[in-house]
Structure 1
C-alpha cells in the first residue's frame, strides 16, 4: 500500500510520545521524526484515503491535545499531509528549524486552557426585565396576547433583550478577563459559539501558576453560581498562542 505522511505537531527532539495515541486514518502508529533540535509527530496515511470526516478530526485533536498535556507542542492544522518522511525533514523541520526552536522556547512550560461560560437563560432574562421597566412592560403586554397580532412587538422585545445581553456579555467577559489575567501569560477572547454563551476565553498558563489559576477560576464560578455555568477545558494544544515569526527568529 502506498502511503504519505500525516503531520500532527512539532515538538522538541527526543520527546517520548504518550502511550495509546491512535493515528488519523487507522494507520499503524504515531511516531516521531527527529531533525536537529526538533521532532515531527507523524503517522502513515494511505494515499487514496480521503480526509475530512468527523472521526479524522477527532483523532487529530486527540493526538495534539494528548501531546499538549505531556510536553510543549506546536500543533499543525488538521489535514497536513506531505509526500513522505523525507519531505517532513526537508520541507518542514529543516526549512523552519530556527523558527520552530524559537517558538517552542516561547511556549516552554505553558499550557493553553479554554474557559466557557453559559448563562442560565431564565435568570438572565429575569434580570433584564427587573432592570428595565420599558422592556418589562412590553413583555407583559405580549405574554398572553395573540402571537400574530403582536408579531412586531415581539420582534421589538427580542431585539431589546438582545441589546441588553450583548452589553452584559461584554461586561462579564471583561470581568472574567480582569480576574484571570494576573495568572496567565496571555489571554485571547474568542467569539461566543452559542446564543446562551456568556464568554469564551483562551488562556495560556505557565505551570508555575497553574494552581493559582485554577483557584481563581473556581472563585469566579462560585461568584457567578446560579447565573453563569463555567467549564474549563484543557490543557489543549496552544493554537491560539502560536508565536508569530520575527526577523530575528
Structure 2
C-alpha cells in the first residue's frame, strides 16, 4: 500500500485472516498493520481526501462487519485516519492493555440490532378508542379548519404524545425481555420522536445462543403481528458495546 494516509476501521487480533477481495473506502484493498497481539484493519487513503459520504460510511461498516464474522473486533469511529503505518503501530501499542481484555470479552459474540415499530394507523386508533378526551378532541378537529380548532389541535397533540409514551413504557418490555434472556448484554438506544418508534435496541449474543435468540425474536414478532413490526439486523460488529477510541 503506497498511500500516504491510512484509514483505520478497527482493531482485532493479530492472527485474523482477511478475505482476499475485501475492499474498503473507495474500493481500496483492506490490509492489516500488526503489533504484539493486535492488528489494525486499514486501507490506503489519498492525501486531501474528504470523508463523510454515505457510501464511505457504508464501506466502513461493511469492513467491520466482515471482520466481525471471523474474529472479535473493536470498531473505531468513522473518520479515524493515521499518517503512517508506524502511527498505526503506536495506536495499537498505546491501547494494548485495554484492547486485549476487551477483545477477549467479545470473543464468540456478535451484535444484533432490533428495530420495533408500531403500525401507526393501528396504534393511533387504539389511543383514540382508549381515551374519551382524545376521542372527543379527535371528533372536534376532524375535517375542521385549522384556524378554528388550533387550541383543540394543540391539546390533542399533547394528549396523543403522552398516550404514546405510556404505551411505549408498557410495550417495550414485552418486546425486550423475552429476547434479552438469550443475550449476554443489551443496550436500549436513545428514543426518537417518530410516532411509529417503539424501541431500538442492540443485543450482544453468544454464538451458542444465536438460534435461541432468533427463535425468541420470531416468537415476539408473531405475538405482536399486525400491531408492531420487528426488524432484526445482524450479526454485525459490536458497535454498541465498546467505548469509542
TM-score by length of 1: 0.92
1:10 aligns with 2:11: yes
Counterpart of 2:21 in structure 1 is 20
> Structure 1 144/48 Cα, relative in aligned 2: closer, same or farther at 3 Å?
closer
Write out per-residue CA displacement over residues 139-177 of structure 1, whole angstroms, 9 at most, x where no aligned residue.
112213222211110111111111011111122222222
4+ residue segments displaced more than 6 Å = none
Write out per-residue CA displacement over residues 7-27 of structure 1, whole angstroms, 9 at most, x where no aligned residue.
111111111113432221443
Alpha carbons 1:187, 1:202 under 8 Å: kept: yes
Q: Secondary structure at the match of 1:20?
A: coil
Report 1:141-160 matches (<5 A).
141-160=140-159
> d(CA) in 2 for partners of 1:113 and 1:14?
25
Alpha carbons 2:120, 2:195 under 8 Å: kept: no
Report 1:108-127 matches (<5 A).
108-127=107-126
Counterpart of 1:36 in structure 2 is 36
Q: Gaps spanning 5+ residues in structure 2: where?
A: none
Shift of 1:244: 9.4
Q: Secondary structure at the match of 2:39?
A: strand
Alpha carbons 1:38, 1:97 under 8 Å: kept: yes
> Structure 1 187/2 Cα, relative in aligned 2: closer, same or farther at 3 Å?
closer
Deviating more after overlay: 206-215 vs 64-73: 64-73
- Quote the RMSD (CA, aligned, Å): 1.7
Counterpart of 2:170 in structure 1 is 171
Counterpart of 1:45 in structure 2 is 45
Report 1:131-142 matches (<5 A).
131-142=130-141
Report 1:188-207 matches (<5 A).
188-193=187-192, 194-207=194-207
Q: How many residues align?
A: 243
TM-score by length of 2: 0.94
